[in-house]
Amino acid sequence: MRQAGSYSGILMSGKTGPHLLPLARIKKIMKKSGDGVKMISGESPIVFSKACEMFIGELTQRSWMVTMQGKRRTLNKEDVASAVMATDLFDFLLNLVSEDTFKSS
Nearest CB to other proteins, comparing residues 51 and 86: 51
Quick one: which of 75, 57, 56 has its CA closest to 66? Answer: 75
Cβ at position 43, least distance to other proteins in Å: 4
Answer yes or no: are the C-beta atoms of 44 and 28 closer than 8 Å: no
Cβ at position 105, least distance to other proteins in Å: 14
Cβ at position 69, least distance to other proteins in Å: 14
Q: Output the CA–CA distances (angstroms, integers) from residue 64 to 7, 51, 52, in the order listed.
A: 33, 20, 18
